[in-house]
Structure 1
Amino acid sequence: MDREQEELQFLGLFGIFKESYKIIVSWRKIFAQITLTLILPLTFIFLAHIEISHSLFKDIKHTEFEKEITRPGTKRYNNLSDTLSSEWITFWLFKVAYFTVLLILSLLSTAAVVYTIASIYTGRELTFKKVMSVVPKVWKRLMVTFLCMFAAFFVYNFFAASIIVICFVILPNSVVSAIILYVVLIVYLMGFVYMTVIWQLASVVSVLESSYGIKAMTKSMDLIKGNRVVAVAIFFLLNLSLGLIQFLFSLMVVHGSSYQAWKRVGFGVLCFVLLLALFLFGLVIQTILYLVCKSYHHENIDKGDLSNHLESYLGEYEPLNGKEVQLEQYDV
C-alpha cells in the first residue's frame, strides 16, 4: 500500500474501490493462490447450490402435484406421501450442509484476505504457506463473532416478526395495519443493512485487533460512525452485483433448458468468473474500509504493534496482557 494512513480517511466510495483493485493487481500472485484454494470452491458451492436446490424443489412440486390428483387412502397415495416426506428431508439436509460449508469457506476466505492485507500494510514477509497456517487460528475468532451476530440477527428478526403479528391481531385488515406494516418493513430493512455492515467490519476487527465477538461488534459500531453512507453504498453495490449475477445464472443456466448447451455452459462459466472476482473484491474492500474508518477517527495503526499481533497467530510473539494492539490516538 503506497498511501500514508492519514490519507486513507479522504478515500471516498470510488477511492476505496480503486485502492482495492490496486492491491489485488500489485499482489496478484498471493491473491490468486488464496482465490484458487478458498474462494474458488466457495464460488462453485454457491452456484451449485442454486442448481441443486432448483432440481430438488422441482421434484418436490412434481410429487405434490401427483399426490393432489391421487385418491387418498390408496397405496399410490401413501407411497407418494412417503416420497414427499423423504424429498423434503433431503432438501432441508442439503440446505443445512450447504450453509455449513458456505460459512466455513466464507470465514476462512475472510481470515486469509484480511491477514494478507494486514501483512502487506506492515511490510511483513508474506508467503502463501504462512497465510494458510494462520487461517485456522484466525477462523476461530471469526466464528465467535459470527455466532454473536447470528444471535443479534435472531433477536432482531424475532422482535420485527412479533410487531407485525401484533399489528395484524389488533388491527386486522385495516388501512392502519397496512401503513404500519410498510413502516415496519422499511425500518427493518434499514436496520438489517446496518447490522450486516457492522458484521462485515467486525470480521476485520476480529482479525486485526484483540477484540472479537461482542467487543468486535461494539468496536465496529464506533468505527462506522462518520462513514455510514460510504459503507451502505458499498453494501448495495456489492449486493446489487451479486443479485445480477444470480439472476443471470438462474435465467440462462438453471432455467435455460431452451438454450443450446454451449450457451448454457458459456453463461455458467461467465457467472462463475464474475462471482469469483466479486467475492475476492468484496473481501478486500471491507478490509480497506476498516483502514479508512480507523484513519477517519484518527486511530493510529502502529505497524510495529500490528506486526507483533500478526506474529502472535504464528506463535512468534505473545502480546502483552491488557494491551490493545495497534490502537493509539494521534492528533491532527
Structure 2
Amino acid sequence: MDSDEEKLQYLGFLGIFKESFKIVVSWKKIFTQITLSFILPLSILFLVQIHVSEYLERRIRFVRYRLYHRGDEDEYLSSERLEYWLIKIAYLVFLLVLSLLSTSAVVYTVACNYTGKPITFKKIMSVVPKVWKRVTITFIWSFLIHLAYSLCFLGAIVMWAMLIGFSSVGIAIWYVLLILFFVGFVYLSIVWQLASVVSVLEEENYGIKAMVKSINLIEGKRRVTSFIFLLLVLFYYGILIVYQLFAVYSWNIGTMVGIGILCLVLLMFLFLFGLVIQTVIYFVCKSYHCESIDKPALANHLEAYFQSEPQRDATKDVQLEQVHVATKDAQLDQVYV
C-alpha cells in the first residue's frame, strides 16, 4: 500500500470533506462543465417541480371545494388528478435520468483524478452513456430492495395495528418501529450510493453484486458514512425549507428571485459535492480494508469505456490467455523441480 492509500485509510469525518473539496477545486474546470451540463438542469428541474406541484395541488383543492358546494360529479376532479400524477411521473423519470448521468460523470472524473489519468469534458461525454447503463442496473436493484424493505415495514405496521394497537405499550413499540425503519432506510441509501460508485469503477460488479460489495466496504466505516449522509440530508432539507418559505410562498418578486437563485446555487454545489464525497468514501473504504487500489488496472478499466465491445472482449481474451500461459508455465516449473 503506497503513501497515498495510507492517507486515505485514516481519513475521518473532516478528512473526507477536506479531500473532496480539494478535488473539486483542483479540477474546477471539468466539474464546472459537468455542473452546467447535468447538475444545473437537475437542480432547476427539482426547484421548478416544487412550484408546479404547489400550483396543481392548489388547483385540485379549489376544484374539490367548488364541486362540493355545487354537488356536481367529480369527473373534472379526476382529470385534474390524472394530470397531476402524469406530471409527477414525467418529473421522476427526468430526475432519475439526470441524477444517474451526473453520478456517472462525477465518479468517472474523481477516479481519473486518483489514477492521474488525463481527462477532458469531451471524453466524459463519450464515456457517460456507457457507464450510465451499469449505474441504472444498480439503481433498479436498489429500488427493488427499498421496495421490499418498505413492504416488510408496512406488514409490521399492519400486524402492530391488529395485535397491539394504540395502548401505552403499543405507542412505545410504534416509535421503536419508526426508529428501526429510519435507521434501515438510511443504511440502504448509503449502500446504494456507494454501490453506484462500485458500478462505475469495478468491471464485474454492478447490480446486486455492487450492492453486496458496497455492504462489505461500509463495514468499519459505517458511523462516518452515516454522519456524512445525515449531514448532507440536513443541508438538503434546509435548502428546501428556505426555498419553500421565501420563494414559493412569498409574494415579493425580488425575494422570490433572490432566494431562488441562492437556493439554486447551493443545491448545485450540494449535489456536486455529495457525489464527489461518495466517490472519496469508496476509496477510503477500499484503503481501510487494505484492498490495494491498483491504479494501472483502474486506469485500464476507465480507458476500456472508450473501446467498442469487440475490442473490450478481445482485450479480455488476451488477458485470459496470458493468465492461462503463466499458469501452465508455473505448473511445468513445479514438475521439473
TM-score by length of 1: 0.91
Aligned to 2:177: 184
Q: For 1:232 and 1:46, how far apart are their aligned partners in 2?
A: 24
Distance in 2, Cα, partners of 1:243 & 1:173: 31
Q: Give the 5 Å matches for 1:164-243.
A: 164-210=157-203, 211-243=205-237
Post-superposition offset of 1:320: 3.2
* Structure 1 gaps, min length 5: 72-76, 324-332
Deviation at 1:120, TM superposition (A): 1.5
Separation (CA, whole Å) in 2 of partners of 1:186 and 1:34: 37
Identity of aligned residues (%): 50
Instruction: Report the structure, 1 or 2, having the larger helix content.
Output: 2
Deviation at residue 199 of structure 1 after TM alignment? 0.3
Does 2:256 match 1:264? yes
Q: Which amino acid aligns with 1:106?
A: S
Q: How does 1:245-260 map to 2 (within 5 A)?
A: 245-257=239-251, 260=252
Among 74, 93, 97, the residue aligned to 2:86: 93
Which residue pairs with 2:21 in the alignment?
21
Residues 1-332 of structure 1: pairs in structure 2 closer than 5 A: 4-71=4-71, 77-78=72-73, 81-210=74-203, 211-257=205-251, 260-315=252-307, 318=312, 320=316
Q: TM-score, normalised by structure 2?
A: 0.90
| Distance in 2 between residues matched to 1:289 and 1:237, nearest whole Å | 15
Deviates more, 1:3-12 or 1:274-283: 3-12
Q: Which protein is bigger by CA-based radius of gyration?
A: 2
**2:170 aligned partner, one-letter code:** S
Query: For residues 31 and 16 of structure 2, what CA distance do their matches in structure 1 show?
Result: 18
Amino acid at match of 1:234: I
Question: What is the CA–CA distance in structure 1 between the aligned matches of 2:147 and 2:124, rounded to whole Å?
Answer: 33
Question: 2: CA distance between counterparts of 1:310 and 1:100?
Answer: 28
Distance in 1 separating the partners of 2:120 and 2:76: 52
* Distance (Å, rounded) in 1 between the aligned partners of 2:146 and 2:169: 27
Misfit runs of 4+, over 6 Å: none
Question: For the aligned residues, what is the CA RMSD?
Answer: 1.5
Q: Distance in 1 between matches of 2:124 and 2:164?
A: 57
Per-residue displacement from partner, 1:145-203 (whole Å, max 9, x unpaired)?
00001000011000100011111112233223222211111100000000000000000
SS of the residue corresponding to residue 269 of structure 1 reads helix
1:299 partner SS: coil
* Separation of aligned partners in 2, 1:96 and 1:57: 15
- Unpaired segments ≥5 residues, structure 2: 321-337
